[in-house]
Structure 1
Amino acid sequence: MQVARLRAKFDPRVLSRYDIKALIRTGSFSKFVRMEQKTTKKPFAIKVMETRMREGREACESEFSILWWVSYHYIVQLLEIFETQDQVYMVMELATGGEFFDGLISQGYFTEQDAVRILHMVGDGMRYLNALKITHRDLKPENLLCYHPGAESKFFITDFGCNSGNKSGDCTVRMLCGTPEIASEILLRKPYTSAVDMWAFGLITYVLLCRFLPFDGESHMRIYRTILKGKYNYRGDPWPTISLKEGLNRLLILEAKHQVSAGQALDHPWVLMTTGSSMKNIRVISQNFMRRASPQPQSPRSAQSSK
């Protein structure tokens, strides 16, 4: 019945080329639908964006202006587009492994070396975007997708609906955009650059290793205050055995001018390491991700970071 309802609302041009298989998820101005190309039987995802309202139209224009222009193996690929008066259909690569944490939990275990592999893919994608003067602005675990289930899957960056689309030499923007865990420049509504993506990269690295967000609070305002004060900590497992703390400090730093670039982050000794991690890290990190799959209380209050 769900497929029948979707088919009734789809543009005939899309249905002539693709069969609807299932609704993947819905958003404020969009929905993702799993499709199958009729001739090749290959699976794809179609993002249906509602453009009646100004917000949906701007998000659509923003995402289209980026994805139609970029091509990189760690960036979701836009393959085809259909447009009507009130909707835009974007045919994209299908990620069958789910979101960032879904892919990790499905492995059943997780090592420090796995973290290195994933961060290298995300960092490489960011380096490509930064070289093109593109700022994602809403980089977070939910916008990293696992291409297929399994430990060897690639991850790619998605959801550019919050992007300025600015590909000129100056990618400084002012728009307040993103999740509660966003860089201080955005919170203060200051002009900012792609350095905000590196701040988000630091946040993803922190969450990847210990499950918890570095900045905690019972409300958005409390989270904002801890971000603006730069308060976070390296307490408990697995931090005593992780050598990346100095690198994280340079990613989660308040002053953008002192922040490392994507290329510098990828050259960090921890990211370049080739040896595996200890069994302690494998056990602790795996348990943290498994616990994340069930409801959990708020993490302990943050304390001042060790710089």
Structure 2
Amino acid sequence: MGCGTSKVLPEPPKDVHLDLVKKVEPYTGYKTDIYKHFIKGDGDAIKSAIPSPPHHTNPHVEQAEPRKNRVAKYRAKFDPRVTAKYDIKALIGRGSFSRVVRVEHKATKQPYAIKLIETKYREGREVCESELCVLRRVRHTNIIQLIEVFETQERVYMVMELATGGELFDRIIAKGSFTERDATRVLQMVLDGVKYLHTLGITHRDLKPENLLYYHPGMDSKIMITDFGLASARKKGDDCLMKTTCGTPEYIAPEILVRKPYTNSVDMWALGVISYILLSGTMPFEDDNRTRLYRQILKGKYSYSGEPWPSVSNLAKDFIDRLLTVDPSDRMTALQALKHPWVVSMAASSSMKNLHRSISQNLLKRASSRCQSTKSAQSTRSSRSTKSNKSRRVRERELRELNLRYQQQYNG
């Protein structure tokens, strides 16, 4: 959904702790990035994106080096214990302190993903600790599975299941048909996974379509919940309240915005947002202005206007309404959501209505507008640099005032 989404809220007042697990750092260049030359490819056809050589070197010498030697060099950057067991195939993702590569088990030829995290940096250690704390405890068909871990002094290699079926909404766009019954099948799988997490005292805190992947490209593929970098795992004896301000803005629950202690019900709010998008291709809360976006969320202000909502059943809307409830105590739990009549009946009364055209058009329209706004923001960023500090202070003041108003309203 879109070209780029922020992972955390804007900087809060100084007396509020902010989770920086997913802080985005600017890319510093190939000199400090030893994995830069892995790019997407298949098998030994991994291509290398060598930067232009410095002026004092002879480019013909670089070109003369056989490709296999270069690929061997890059693979040698990995710990020998990893390369002894897995063939490194291609880079499939990168973060500030991590790389995700597709690999193949040498003995079984089974494909996996390895997430390599640089733990010499504090933020990298936080990501690693958060994900490992969760993934070592979970074993569920709808949650990405940790296979094994290799640790060194400066890096951790997490071998995980490889989801090759793509993101949820990419599949919907390509499918050609999508009904409420299809939506309930998707949501049943996600709710099963979320219920399991909540039973273990784990709150995902960043549920969104990008973190819901199909296991394989087939029609019968399961959905898997991924990306536990912001997850919170309650230890035995701890209370169930969390206080860290984190998440992706459009999916953040109201109680997080007013900085109240919160529970795993924040995941259910995010599932309400996902359900709304799943049935329409549009967002319930959306505004380029972050303060206006938060105001919509805090009021729980959304509507069922426009296509394809006239074709969507009242039961489906009731399901969404019971999740997008501002008061978390009135919000459905994962178990209650699984028992909702719309889910239990598999939307039987409206299963034949094809919502695909409207959903796909709305998804593609939003993706296009987000891409354009991102490019526009990048092109004007330099001209606004002298005003950035002042703008940040204004946003912080507006957010503090907004939070204060709604805290007063929230507390009655």
- Using structure 2 for the length normalisation, give the TM-score: 0.68
1:138 is aligned, of 206, 210, 218, to 206
- Matched to 1:197, the amino acid is D
Alpha-carbon contact 1:134-1:165 (below 8 Å) kept = yes
C-alpha contact (below 8 Å) 1:134/1:171 kept by paired residues: no
1:98 is the counterpart of 2:166: yes
1:247 maps to 2:319:
yes
The separation in 1 between residues aligned to 2:288 and 2:360, in whole angstroms, is 26
User: Which residue is 1:161 aligned to?
Assistant: 229
Sort the Cα spacing of 1:194 and 1:237 in 2 relative to 1 into closer, same or farther, 3 A. same
3-state SS of 1:148 partner: coil
2:345 matched residue in structure 1? 273
Alignment equivalent of 1:188, drawn from 240, 258, 276: 258
Aligned counterpart, 2:292: 222
How far apart are 1:150 and its partner, in Å? 3.1
Q: What corresponds to 2:112 in structure 1?
A: 44
Please state whether the residue corresponding to 2:355 is helix, strand or coil: helix
State the SS of the aligned residue for 2:210.
Answer: helix
Q: After alignment, is 155-164 or 215-224 more displaced?
A: 215-224
Match of 1:259 in 2: 331
Q: Secondary structure at the match of 2:322?
A: helix
Quick one: which amino acid aligns to residue 163 of structure 1? A
Between Structure 1 and Structure 2, which shows a larger proportion of helix residues? Answer: 2
- Counterpart position of 1:32: 100
> Offset at 1:279?
3.9
Aligned residues: 298
Q: Which has the larger radius of gyration?
A: 2
Instruction: Detail structure 1 runs of 4+ shifted over 6 Å in the superposition.
Output: none
**Greater mean deviation of Cα atoms: 150-159 or 104-113:** 104-113
Q: Are residue 174 (structure 1) and residue 243 (structure 2) matched?
A: yes
Distance 2:96 2:313 in 1: 39
What RMSD over aligned residues (CA atoms) do the two structures have, in Å? 1.9
Bigger drift between 248-257 and 166-175 goes to: 166-175
Deviation at residue 209 of structure 1 after TM alignment? 0.9
Q: Within 1, Cα distance between the matches of 2:97 and 2:295?
A: 30
Structure 2 residue 134 is matched with structure 1 residue 66: yes
Residue 410 of structure 2 corresponds to: none
CA–CA separation in structure 2 for the residues paired with 1:290 and 1:150 = 23
Residue correspondence of structure 1 range 200-215 to structure 2 within 5 A: 200-215=270-285
- Once the 2 structures are TM-superposed, how far is the Cα of residue 191 of structure 1 from its aligned partner? 0.7
SS at match of 1:16: helix
The unaligned stretches of length 5 or more in structure 2 are 1-36, 39-45, 47-70, 374-412
Q: 1:292 to 1:113 in 2, by over 3 A?
A: farther
With the length of structure 1 as denominator, give the TM-score of the two structures.
0.91
What is the percent sequence identity of the aligned residues?
Answer: 57
Structure 2 letter corresponding to 1:283: R
CA distance in 1, matches of 2:235, 2:190: 20
1:2-41 equivalent positions in 2, closer than 5 A:
2=38, 3=46, 4=71, 6-41=74-109
Deviations along 1:68-118, whole A, 9 cap, x unmatched? 111000111000001111211100000001222223233232222111100
